[in-house]
Amino acid sequence: MQNALSYDVKFVGGVGEARARLLTRELDIRTVGDLLYHIPYRYIDRRRIYSIGEVDESLESTLIQIRGRITGISYSGTGRKQRFMASVSDTSGSTELLWFQGIKWIEKRVEVGREYIIFGRPSFYRGTFNMIHPEIETVEQALSRKAESGFQGIYPSTEKLSHGIGTKAMSTIMTNAWQIAKDGIEETLPEAIRRRNALMPLREALYNIHFPQSPELLRQAQYRLKFDELLGVQLTIQSRRSARMARGDGFMMPRVGELFNGFYREKLPFPLTGAQQRVIKEIRSDMISGRQMNRLLQGDVGSGKTMVALMSMLLAVDNGYQACIMAPTEILARQHYAGMVRMTEGMPLNIGILTGSSRSRERREALEGAASGKIDILIGTHALIEDKVVFKQLGYVVIDEQHRFGVEQRARLWTKNERPPHVLVMTATPIPRTLAMTLYGDLDVSVIDELPPGRQPIRTYRYTDASRLKMFGFLREEIRKHRQVYIVYPLIKESEKMDYKDLHDGFESISRDFPLPEYRITVCHGKMKPEDKEAAMAQFKRGEADILIATSVIEVGVDVPNATVMVIESAERFGLSQLHQLRGRVGRGDGQSYCILMSGDKLSREARSRLDAMCQTNDGFQLAELDLKLRGAGDVHGTQQSGEAFDLRIANLAADTQIMQLTRDEAVALLAKDRTLSLPENSGLRRLKERYASHEKMDFSQIS
């Protein structure tokens, strides 16, 4: 017998051909099973009936029920402006119901003198309220309808769908779907897991998620379904990981050779921090494990990730392999190139560079050198991904500031070899634990949790335009101490012109406010030619400019230790992790550094929390957690593409950390015993895994 869950949704009572098409088009619901996993995002207590007199502005736009008698009806306007009004009263007061559409339909159903249950959202105007397009039914109808539950689920909908299927219709459809589905629901979890985690059976959970029998049962149902969802995700991720571990096709790099040792003895400009040493050891143990390394290196801005990258690349070269490092911007790639060439001067090491704006000679040298094996380390931007770039023996890939790259871009570096190289993905944007477990669950994680010695915490202040002169005064003082200053303007894709204008207006006002010839100002923005950008950066870096006015092109990686002040204009237009990244441009030397957030007076609550958080902490991890809370997982920097990857319906990556941890542990244990989930008792789990593997929009095994 065909399982009831796979029946076409059109056979559910109340659906039919037209609504089925609508459900499929708008919500991708095709079967009874799909419908069953369409989960309410909110519930209202249908037993609760408000008296008209108690409805106040705190209930603006929330769905409520009132019960009252229609005392009169009226029409106004004509044609498309026509509307239909009904007055309704109970013992405590009266209100108006309004319809702008479907008047022919509703006027037949509203009878003066009759009592109705009215269900809708009050909107207030000058202290009184009305209800626009409420759903209504007679008290007799309401009583005769045998509700499954006193709580009515409110389902996610779309503009188009809500016209075709209202709240009430959706409830009816769900009730009918349940009748078809209830005996076809198969448990997904083995008894032991259910018991260990005190989870209610799946059937009960699905029933209570649609028709809660009590608030407590609803809570348990939600917990159970979140658990299923996250377990499905973890099974997908962890089975990839164990497959990678089992493959054993990682390049062996056992030698610690002349390059690494020579560099360590003679070139290292400072002692490594304990954290840097530890991470290098972790990378090295991966290199001799026989397994391909997939490692995420998290370290706050300024923690010295570049040195880890360089030294681990030297290890790869010591073993006869080539290495490459991909940076997100031209500026950053050039900076890495200059820095690494300088630090390894005199060593038998060939470093090349390739970016989108490499001129013919540089390009030719890079391409030929990579292909022939003459180049040991190739540094570059996205240009490294191009098909033309072929390596003789690429063994090690570093991706800097990974959040700036799309998943696909990263994946393409991977395919440059038949055997995958070891991959180190570096990020200064701390990824909250839950996200890391989901999005990068297949990666091993290293953390640099220690800043180089002598750094003083950056002091962050928030100023409005009224304090602009004070801010300029402060900049003067710092420049007098021979410190350098960044002033950054937002760059928003949609309105590059406007940003450009902001930046230029800013430049002019600063030139006006700093009329003294001894202030040297330089400008750097995305519209400039790469060589001009680079020249401006180089000038600033050499200390030949006191102020660098820039758009957020300088957000990542730029390293000028003498710069101690970061002024961020229109700071409210930046996201939290972007602000933190920008702030990380200062505080890189031993001078006290400052970050000044300029903003307008009128800020949204969210913008205000962001700026306040910046003033309160320098801890990137704390900021990342907060960012996740404020913006939701889908939107956290660098996870835009990845946040929705698993199409979670009920679990929330920000809130459900604990369930995530539990499911991860269960998944690891399950796969250790039954790697392919082929034991009979695990057949439900296999379905669970497939459900989320198919929802997954990208293949994360290819990230790195």
- For ligand ADP, the closer of residues 222 and 329 by Cβ is 329
Contact 339, 306 (CB under 8 A): yes
- For ligand ADP, the closer of residues 111 and 590 by Cβ is 590
Dihedral angle over CA of 242, 246, 251, 253, nearest 10: 90
What's the distance, CA 662 to chain centroid?
22
Q: Which of 149, 276, 294, 701 touches ligand ADP (CB under 6 A)?
A: 276
Closest residue by beta carbon to ligand ADP = 304
- For ligand ADP, the closer of residues 583 and 610 by Cβ is 583
**Partner in contact with 452, chosen from ligand ADP, Mg ion, none, beta carbon below 5 to 8 Å by kind:** ligand ADP
- For the bound state, the minimum distance from the C-beta of residue 303 to ligand ADP, rounded and expressed in Å, comes to 4
Size of the site for ligand ADP (CB under 6 A): 18
- Grouping H, G, I as helix, E, B as strand and the rest as coil, residue 485 is strand
- For Mg ion, the closer of residues 352 and 557 by Cβ is 557
- For the bound state, the minimum distance from the C-beta of residue 457 to ligand ADP, rounded and expressed in Å, comes to 15
d(CA 580, CA 533): 23
- For Mg ion, the closer of residues 328 and 557 by Cβ is 557
d(CA 158, CA 345): 62
- For the bound state, the minimum distance from the C-beta of residue 437 to ligand ADP, rounded and expressed in Å, comes to 23
- For the bound state, the minimum distance from the C-beta of residue 650 to ligand ADP, rounded and expressed in Å, comes to 37
Number of CB atoms found within 10 A of residue 248's CB: 10
Q: Which of 22, 170, 280, 301 touches ligand ADP (CB under 6 A)?
A: 301
Q: Which of 33, 250, 557, 638 touches Mg ion (CB under 5 A)?
A: 557
Q: Which of 336, 404, 416, 588 touches ligand ADP (CB under 6 A)?
A: 588
Q: Which stretch, 179-187, 230-238, 301-309, 528-536, contacts ligand ADP (CB under 6 A)?
A: 301-309
How many CA within 13 A on the CB side of residue 562?
16
Q: Which of 201, 320, 561, 575 touches ligand ADP (CB under 6 A)?
A: 561
| 124 Cβ contact list (under 8 Å, min separation 6) | 57, 60
**Partner in contact with 153, chosen from ligand ADP, Mg ion, none, beta carbon below 5 to 8 Å by kind:** none
Site string for ligand ADP, 302-341 (x = CB under 6 A): xxxxxx----------------------------------
Cα-based distances in Å from 318 to 255, 261, 269, 301, 349: 7, 10, 20, 29, 10
Q: Which stretch, 121-129, 283-291, 512-520, 554-562, contacts Mg ion (CB under 5 A)?
A: 554-562
Which parts of 520-559 interact with ligand ADP (CB under 6 A)? 557, 559
d(CA 423, CA 292): 8
Residue type, 267: K
Using rule CB under 6 A, residue 621 touches ligand ADP:
no
For 500, phi then psi, to 5°, come to -60, -40
d(CA 190, CA 554): 52
- Grouping H, G, I as helix, E, B as strand and the rest as coil, residue 323 is strand
d(CA 352, CA 208): 62
**Partner in contact with 65, chosen from Mg ion, ligand ADP, none, beta carbon below 5 to 8 Å by kind:** none
Residues forming a β-bridge with 460:
595
- For ligand ADP, the closer of residues 299 and 380 by Cβ is 299
- For ligand ADP, the closer of residues 231 and 558 by Cβ is 558
Q: Which stretch, 125-133, 479-487, 555-563, 592-600, contacts Mg ion (CB under 5 A)?
A: 555-563
Residue 138 belongs to what H/E stretch?
A: strand 135-138
Q: Which of 273, 402, 460, 577 touches ligand ADP (CB under 6 A)?
A: 273
Site string for ligand ADP, 405-444 (x = CB under 6 A): -----------------------x----------------
- For the bound state, the minimum distance from the C-beta of residue 615 to ligand ADP, rounded and expressed in Å, comes to 21
d(CA 632, CA 79): 44
Which of these, 440, 427, 5, lies nearest to 240 by C-alpha position?
440
Closest residue by beta carbon to Mg ion = 557
d(CA 631, CA 641): 14
Cα-based distances in Å from 294 to 223, 248, 297, 320: 32, 13, 10, 20
How many residues can be counted in the chain? 704
Q: Which residues bind ligand ADP (CB under 6 A)?
A: 270, 272-273, 276, 299, 301-307, 428, 452, 557, 559, 561, 588
Q: Which residues bind Mg ion (CB under 5 A)?
A: 557
